[in-house]
Amino acid sequence: MSDAEEDAPFNNEGFEENEEVEEEEDEEEEENPPKPSRRDYDDDEEDEEDEEDEEDMGAERGKKRPKRTKRSAVGRFLDVEAEVDEDEEDEDEEDEYARDEFVVGGEADEDDLARRAADHARFDRRERELDDQDLAKIAEDVSQRYRRTAVRYSGDMSDIPQRLLMPSVHDANLWQVRVRPGKERDLVFSLMRKAIDLEYSNRPLQIVSAFQRDSLPGMIYVEARSAKQVSDACNGLVGIYPSRGIILVPIEEMASLLQIKKQDLTVTPGSWVRIRRGKYQGDIAQVMDITENGEEVGLKFIPRIDLNPKDDGSVEIMGKKRKKGPTGISSSSMRPPQRFFNYEEVVKVYGRKAVSKRNQVYVFQNETYKDGFIEKDFKLAGLQLDNVNPTLDEITRFTHGQDGAENDANVDLSIIAEASRKAAISVLQPGDHVEVFEGEQSGVHGTVHSIEQDIVSIQPVGVDFDGQRIQLPARSVRKRFKPGDHVKVMTGQNADETGLVVSVSANVVTFLSDMSMQEVSVFSKDLREAAEVGTGTNVVGNYELHDLVQLDMQTVGVIFKTERDSFRVLDQNGQVRLVQPHQISMRRDSNRAIATDAEGHELRVNDNVKEVDGEGRKGRVLHTHQSFFAFLHNRDYNEHGGVFVTRARSLVSVAPKGNIMKLGAADLSKMNPALSGGAMGGMVGSGNIGRGPRDRLIGVPVTVVKGPSKGYIGTIKDTNGAIARVELNTGNKVISIDKMKLMWRKPPTGVLEPLENAIAGRPSQGGGSTRTPNPYNNRSSFGQRTGAQTPWDNRTPAWETNRTPNPYAAAGKTPAWNAASRTPNPYADGGRTPAWNSASRTPNPYTNGNASPARPAGGAWGGATPGRSGWGGAASPRQTGWASPARPSGAWAEAPSGPWLLKTVQGEPPLSAPTPGFAPYTPGADLGVTPAAAATPGVFDAYADLRTPLAVFSDHRNAVSTPGVSVGMFANQEGEFELPLRWLLETDISNKRGMMVEVRSSHGANGWYNGEYEGKQGVVLSIFDTHSEQFPSTARVQFPEPLDPSQPIIQVPVEVLAPIHPEKPNEEVLILHGPQKGQMAKVNMVEPGGTMVVTTRMFVVEEITSDKLVRIQADV
């Protein structure tokens, strides 16, 4: 029988029915097409209908019958039928049959509405009369009827034992489908809706049911006859993964899927819970009562009342005069601390009217407070019922209640004891020392031998038991500790603390922490004997001990103690706060913060300082804040983990400091490139050591000359590569803009100049032309610069060659140029380049010796002194870096050497010429590694002075020939050889002739003959050393294949001439380097690796690499 059939007779008059059906169920509407014509007067009956609905119920129970008299005959009739249809649609089939008899009769009369209505009315009237006559009988009828329907409703099902409902092979199967976790319920609903939607379509879903269990995340189960039906049903739904397999659930497992029972978390009054969310998140609370349906529980816990309310308004609204908070530090963002409700305190802050008192209970802000506790109803879902693990502290807090008064009545310790006992079972391990504290064996102690579920077998200690084991319920034993044991806390707030047990009372153990030297009481279950000394965790979340953290806009603090998931923070006002990681907005980096101490010296992190006033405490600077507060640390103070805060101005350095700042201020002339000669100027500025990197463009006034902001004036606030952040004077806006679009507004006049000028024009910031005050890196950058800028050195190659083999670049870390140009701080820079690092850190034996004699160029060099010391040390580490065979030795040795030598020779050999002077610094590391470079007089200046008296330097040629120097320094540097650029001007070489040379590096703007002679080979006829920078030293070279045949002999600048190395035995050579330098020799043997055995004309046999040799054309 279908609804349509049922409904058919009523459709004549059954508009109400129709309407309602339509409202609630689309499906019914389909089956039961509405008849518009009948609809017209539905509306006015609708209200009545609701009424009737209610009445129906009453009527059914035989209570409201009299009301029926009010209705029309039709209404009455409909009512009876509608009621059946609505409420018992499919349940009371037999009943319906009986009615259908009648209904069918009605249907037959369909064409005659009036007659039928009359019939119905008559029937109804009869029935009503019946009712009136015998209410009792009616009541019985009704109950009879409902008994039957109710039996239908669950009767035949509920009597069947569950086991008879087990699935059989005839039942549809269950299929497990993977879904996106969290989407299970949605997908079950989706499947349901989809099934309904497609029910009357061409392809209805074939699945029978679908379900999901909360305890089985990531999967749903679909009941269907085949996997295909399942995949059809799943097709098109989001979050369902049929591709991951539609797995058949074995029949025997089907029932268990529906029997999964979550562990019941029952709450009973008195038990402990934690609050999951909100202001009281994580707080412990005690259950007082539970609502009937178990959804809400009444809790009692310690309130957190904000006694420093921030918002005036809220207080004003309440019409209260607010007393100002004692500290004025608003703490609205902070969670107020737990504190028992205190009427006086609250009234003081919020006013008398805010709190009302009823009986023993205070009401404040719609919350109820009793005995200091807040009493509030919570939904069960918002509570954590398991793993509550109340700590002893929390329980004690509860127990003592307000004012520290004993409040035992309110707290039942047995519950927590029970809980802790349960937990204790799980933490027992074989070998643990336990004692029996209840039962017959009470007092016995021993070691745990084995554990089986709840039964532990222990090996008792004592005379009475020799060797026998006793078995006990786990709950009646507890771990046993005795004073003197060294223990470690395994779980809880004090996890990982270790210490020495000082006292034991029942299951509470008190020990003296190794870390804080304070007594800590914990449950014995949380303890384990341990030999190690725990450090505790110093890291919670992203923060660790001694971090400077931002608490709110005004407050920063230093973490001085980390707890399990919170910190103790000492803020700048000296107050201690307990904060959780999420309450920290950020970590502050004070490494670059500047503060000055009492003497005006810079105060930096890690300085050891002491207070000049007050307590005179000493400590190491952890952080400085706003140049005013300094957070210090001293292990000797127990308070706050040794961290304290003081004013930076009241500190002085314990160790006398080099007057770094004063030095910088003292000799400004050295920092001014205009005052120091020529290119040398770049070397100064090392006085700025210690100042962090800072782009000199920052702070420069600029005008935007392109783009949408064109015409705006602003100041550069920050730079990042080619982008500058400019704070516009207008609109208080900071924009990011390409530096190309900016022009410098030269201060006094506002004349626009390119931005680069701004850098050069602000000399006080650093070393003018080289942009870098870094003495270390300076050397390389400086050398490069020199090569490029010095007029007489008209060769770009010099630049190029220096650059290419740049040790910094080769080291793979910091391009020298960049490093040099950006980093005024040698130490900071050193951190990036390992070689430098070690150099600058290792004590350098040459440091002192270097200082004065290594200043060939005079005063301007002064700033470089520290640099050199570092550099000297750097030589050795660098060397190893260079010794790597990966380096193409040939190219390296030759390319730069020519120009170098020439340069050297050209420069005034003694100290007067700046060229040799700074030559050693030029390719910083090159010099360190290559003997050839060392051949440069300048280098020798630098090195020689380490060992030899100053006098040696008066003539550096002597210095060069000093065997001690060359051998001593470079003896172990075989294989690393760099011929100076101006090798032809070297002592003992410049007076020779016949050297075979090749023109190299003659290209470029400063090139020679535009590079036309590049690669040409020739023979040196003579060398003309001008001993001057101004006039290039030249060599007369005869070219066998000149460009211009008429001029086979040309004057060639020495810089472009590179030696031709011998390759074969029996070639005549000139030794360019080594003890036999300047000697003519003959190659005897060529050994692999370019090593040659030569015999000089003095019959000295020497083993030497070919790059230290130049071929000689003997017949010139």
Partner 1 sequence: MSGAQAAIPPQPRAKQLRACLLCSIIQTPADFRKHGCPNCEELMQMKGYTDRIQACTTTHFDGVIGVIDPEQSWVARWQRTSKYVRGMYAVRVKGRIPDDVEAELESRGIKYRPRDQSEQD
Residues numbered 91 to 120 that lie near partner 1 (CB under 8 A) are 91
Q: Which of 152, 376, 1003, 1016 binds partner 1 (CB under 8 A)?
A: 152
Among the residues of 334-391, which ranges form H helices?
343-350
Mode of pairing for the β-strands spanning 445-452 and 367-370: unpaired
**How far is the C-alpha of 221 from the C-alpha of 212, rounded, in Å?**
6
Stretch binding partner 1 (CB under 8 A), from 200-208, 911-919, 950-958, 1061-1069: 200-208
Closer by beta carbon to partner 1, 174 or else 1057 = 174
* 258 near partner 1, judged by CB under 8 A: yes
The three-state DSSP-derived secondary structure of 461-518 is CCHHHCCCCEEEEHHHEEECCCCCCEEEECCCCCCCCEEEEEEEECCEEEEEECCCCC
Burial of 893 by CB count in 10 Å (0-12 exposed, 13-18 middle, 19+ buried)? buried
Smallest gap, in angstroms, from Cβ of residue 46 to partner 1? 13
Residue appearing with tokens 């070219």: 1039
Residue of 28, 526, 793, 894 that binds partner 1 (CB under 8 A) = 28
Out of 46, 48, 64, 211, point to the residue binding partner 1 (CB under 8 A): 211
DSSP letters, 310-337, are --HHHHHHTT-PPPPPSS----SSSPPP
Under the binding rule (CB under 8 A), the answer on residue 27 touching partner 1 is: yes
Q: Assign 1111 to helix, strand or coil.
A: strand
Beta strands in 626-750 (DSSP E): 629-633, 643-647, 651-653, 701-704, 713-720, 723-728, 734-738, 742-746
261: left (phi over 0), alpha (psi -120 to 50) or beta: beta
Q: Measured from the CB of residue 137, what is the shortest distance to partner 1 in angstroms?
A: 18
Q: Are 526 and 392 in contact (CB under 8 A)?
A: no
Tokens of 655: 């160790």
Q: Does 1115 sit near partner 1 (CB under 8 A)?
A: no
Q: Let me know: does 894 contact 1000? Beta carbons within 8 Å.
A: yes
β-sheet bridge partners, residue 544: 539
Least distance CB 24 / partner 1 (angstroms) = 6
> Would you say 936 and 904 are in contact if contact means Cβ atoms under 8 Å apart?
yes
113-133 vs 93-108: helix crossing angle, rounded to 10: 140
Give least dist CB 213 to partner 1, A.
4
Torsion (CA) 701, 705, 708, 714 in degrees, nearest 10: 10
Q: Following DSSP, what letter does each residue of 247-300 receive, concatenated?
A: EEEPHHHHHHHHH--PPP----TT-EEEE-SGGGTT-EEEEEEE-TTSSEEEEE
Closest CA to 803 of 826, 820, 780: 780
Q: How is residue 153 annotated by DSSP?
A: I
Phi then psi for residue 353, to 5 deg, are -75, -15
To the nearest whole angstrom, how small is the minimum distance from the Cβ of residue 246 to partner 1? 17
Q: Is 46 in the site for partner 1 (CB under 8 A)?
A: no
- Nearer Cβ to partner 1 (209/510): 209
List helix spans (H) across 540-679. Answer: 660-666, 668-671
Nearer to partner 1, 92 or 1102 (CB): 92
Tokens of 581: 């990681």
Distance of closest approach, residue 79 Cβ to partner 1, in angstroms: 15
Among 117, 179, 219, 254, binds partner 1 (CB under 8 A): 254
Binding residue for partner 1, selected from 69, 158, 606, 749, defined by CB under 8 A: 158
- Binder of partner 1 out of 62, 105, 167, 858 (CB under 8 A): 167
Stretch that binds partner 1, among 195-203, 325-333, 675-683, 810-818 (CB under 8 A): 195-203
The residue within the footprint of partner 1, chosen from 44, 47, 163, 403 (CB under 8 A), is 163
196 is a site residue for partner 1 (CB under 8 A): yes
Instruction: Decide if residue 89 touches partner 1 (CB under 8 A).
Output: yes
955 counts as binding partner 1 under rule CB under 8 A: no
Q: Is 255 in the site for partner 1 (CB under 8 A)?
A: yes
**In the Cβ-directed half-sphere of 224, how many Cα atoms lie within 13 Å?**
26
Minimum distance, C-beta of residue 61 to partner 1, in the bound complex (Å): 9
Decide if residue 171 touches partner 1 (CB under 8 A). Answer: yes
* Shortest Å distance, C-beta 188 to partner 1: 5
Q: Which stretch binds partner 1 (CB under 8 A): 88-96, 479-487, 646-654, 721-729?
A: 88-96
Closer to partner 1 by Cβ: residue 382 or 831? 382
- How near is the Cβ of 184 to partner 1 at its closest, in Å? 8
By the 8 A CB rule, do 1098 and 970 touch?
A: no
- Binding partner 1 (rule: CB under 8 A), the pick from 37, 69, 243, 259 is 259
Site string for partner 1, 967-1006 (x = CB under 8 A): ----------------------------------------
Query: Does 150 contact partner 1 by CB under 8 A?
Result: yes
User: According to CB under 8 A, which one of 8, 121, 139, 195 is a site residue for partner 1?
Assistant: 195
Q: Does 146 bind partner 1 (CB under 8 A)?
A: yes
In the bound state with partner 1, the residue whose beta carbon lies nearer, of 238 and 586, is 238
24 binds partner 1 (CB under 8 A): yes
Binding residue for partner 1, selected from 40, 47, 111, 159, defined by CB under 8 A: 159
Residues in contact with partner 1, counted by CB under 8 A, come to a total of: 71
- Cβ closest to partner 1, residue 292 vs residue 403: 292
Name the token pair of 445. Answer: 């102690």
CB 303, CB 376: distance < 8 Å:
no
Q: Does 203 bind partner 1 (CB under 8 A)?
A: no
In the bound state with partner 1, the residue whose beta carbon lies nearer, of 174 and 810, is: 174
| Residue 243, helix vs strand vs coil | strand
Please give the residues from 51 up to 80 whose contact with partner 1 meets the rule CB under 8 A. Answer: 53-54, 57, 60
Find where tokens 């307590």 sit: 615
Q: How near is the Cβ of 146 to partner 1 at its closest, in Å?
A: 6
Alpha-carbon distances, residue 1093 vs 140, 1101, 1103 (angstroms): 132, 7, 4
Among 121, 307, 334, 380, binds partner 1 (CB under 8 A): 380
β-pairing verdict for 608-611 and 618-625: antiparallel
Q: Does 253 bind partner 1 (CB under 8 A)?
A: no
Per-residue string for binding with partner 1, 270-309, x by CB under 8 A?
----------------------xxxx--------------
The nearest distance, CB 398 to partner 1, in angstroms, is 28
Integer angstrom CA distances of residue 533 from 488, 513, 514, 515, 530: 8, 9, 7, 9, 8
* DSSP-derived secondary structure for 1018-1086: EEEEEEE---SSSS--EEEEE-SS-SSTT--EEEEEGGGEEEPPP-STT-EEEE-SSTTTT-EEEEEEE
Shortest CA distance to 926 belongs to which of 969, 962, 893, 956? 893
Residue closer to partner 1, measured from CB, 189 or 1031:
189
Instruction: Name which of 63 and 841 has its Cβ closer to partner 1.
Output: 63
Please report whether residue 88 would count as binding partner 1 according to CB under 8 A: yes
Taking CB under 8 A as the binding criterion, the range among 23-31, 419-427, 614-622, 654-662 that sits at the site for partner 1 is: 23-31
Of the candidates 254, 253, 228, the residue with the CA atom closest to the CA atom of residue 242: 228
Q: Do 932 and 980 form a contact (C-beta atoms < 8 A)? A: yes
Candidates 24-32, 811-819, 1017-1025, 1105-1113; binding stretch for partner 1 (CB under 8 A): 24-32
Which segment (185-193, 578-586, 753-761, 773-781) binds partner 1 by CB under 8 A? 185-193
Q: With respect to partner 1, which residue has the nearer C-beta, 220 or 1072?
A: 220
The nearer residue to partner 1, 200 or 1031, going by C-beta atoms, is 200
238 binds partner 1 (CB under 8 A): no
Residue nearer to partner 1 on the CB measure, 167 or 831? 167
